[in-house]
Structure 1
Amino acid sequence: MFLSEQCAKQQIVMFAKSIFERGLTSGASANMSVRIEDAWVMTPTNTCFGFLKADELSVVALDGSLMSGLPPSKEFRLHKAMYDKRPNDRCIIHLHSTYATALSCLPAANNSNVVPTYTPYLTMRLGPIAMVPYFAP
């Protein structure tokens, strides 16, 4: 079941603010989208999760054209590719959390398995998580 456009906008603003206030992202380093029946509601490009306004959110048609609001996140194509691959998904949150970014700057003891095994479930579910070298965008 799809949310209405207005409900999707309210949900994005509410959850984005919560993510921002908990310090899980800062600045304009995150984006979110919610699939509605015939479009996506998405955070606009260069916006901060802590200061979103529902009426400025982007509404983007399934073909990628802007229907209303500010221009969508520059990560729109990433969201579209995920929705195309997983059509039953209804929301995507993409962020560069403060803590994950800081962790990624630390030297790893083993580049083929950089995340410590805090629980057996993590290892069973994900297996080893490797680090790739930095590449400029």
Structure 2
Amino acid sequence: MNELDSRQEICRIGASLYARGYVHASAGNISVKLDDGSFLITPTDACLGNLVASELAHVSAEGVQLSGARASKTLVLHRSIYEASPQARCVIHTHATHLVSLTLQGVWRDNDIVPPITPYYVMKVGHVPLIAYQRPGAPGVANEVTSHIAQSTSAHTPIRGVMLERLGPVVWHASPAEASAVLEELEETAKLWLMSDRQATALSDTQIQELRETFGALW
């Protein structure tokens, strides 16, 4: 997508997530990496439900703001993800209710916040590690996330998201629509698991292997 289309797509995705309750108030942010290596990112404290395309922050590949309203304080994290995962062209962070609630109650495992209870979770999301709480915008978070990306890539099970304890998920993919789909599947899986009182059992190794062989699931 060119810059104009990317601006419009960020606004469309933001409005869609807000309308369906995946984000609230001024929580969350979205960015897109452009073909020239620069970035578009939502402004700090912006409501994703009523973004204005011309007000999105345009930031150089080096992190220098070029135009628009002041960039989100999570810019360092977004840039680090793009550097660590070359396939990523969109990063989305929200404070999704069920996922944040899950971190308050206790995740399944530190390297997998929910068990693989549905086939689409395995295929569309994959492993999602927990990042221990740090204040919003803390620079140390970026280092932890990129470390997880490197480890998962080496293990040939690349991740598409992490969960920031008490803050919410950060997901990425090749387009805003695909990143949004990862976020939605992750939040809905957390909701299902909580609805089962965290008793729902994971798919078996045999069932997951079938998803690998049939659909190329990277689990």
TM-score computed with the length of structure 1 as normaliser:
0.80
Give the aligned partner of residue 32 of structure 1: 30
Tell me how far 1:101 sits from its aligned partner.
Answer: 1.6
Give the aligned partner of residue 44 of structure 1: 43
Task: List gaps (5 residues or longer) in structure 2.
Answer: 136-219
| One-letter amino acid matched to 1:64 | G
Give the aligned partner of residue 6 of structure 1: 4
Distance 1:26 1:89, change over 3 A: same
Q: Name the SS for the 1:70 alignment partner.
A: coil
Tell me how far 1:115 sits from its aligned partner.
Answer: 2.6
Q: Quick one: distance in 2 between partners of 1:81 and 1:130?
A: 17
Give the aligned partner of residue 99 of structure 1: 98
Q: Name the SS for the 2:71 alignment partner.
A: coil
Q: Name the SS for the 2:63 alignment partner.
A: coil
RMSD: 2.6
Tell me how far 1:10 sits from its aligned partner.
Answer: 0.2
Task: List gaps (5 residues or longer) in structure 1.
Answer: none
Tell me how far 1:94 sits from its aligned partner.
Answer: 1.3
Tell me how far 1:136 sits from its aligned partner.
Answer: 4.9
Give the aligned partner of residue 16 of structure 1: 14
1:66-81 alignment runs, 5 A limit: 66-81=65-80
Give the number of equivalent residue pairs. Answer: 131
| Residue 119 of structure 1 pairs with residue 143 of structure 2 | no
Give the aligned partner of residue 53 of structure 2: 54
Q: Quick one: distance in 2 between partners of 1:121 and 1:18?
A: 21
Give the aligned partner of residue 88 of structure 2: 89
| One-letter amino acid matched to 1:61 | S
Q: State, as a whole percentage, how many aligned pairs show the same letter.
A: 32
Structure with bigger helix share is 2
TM-score computed with the length of structure 2 as normaliser:
0.52
Q: Name the SS for the 1:33 alignment partner.
A: strand
Tell me how far 1:107 sits from its aligned partner.
Answer: 5.2
Q: Name the SS for the 1:12 alignment partner.
A: helix
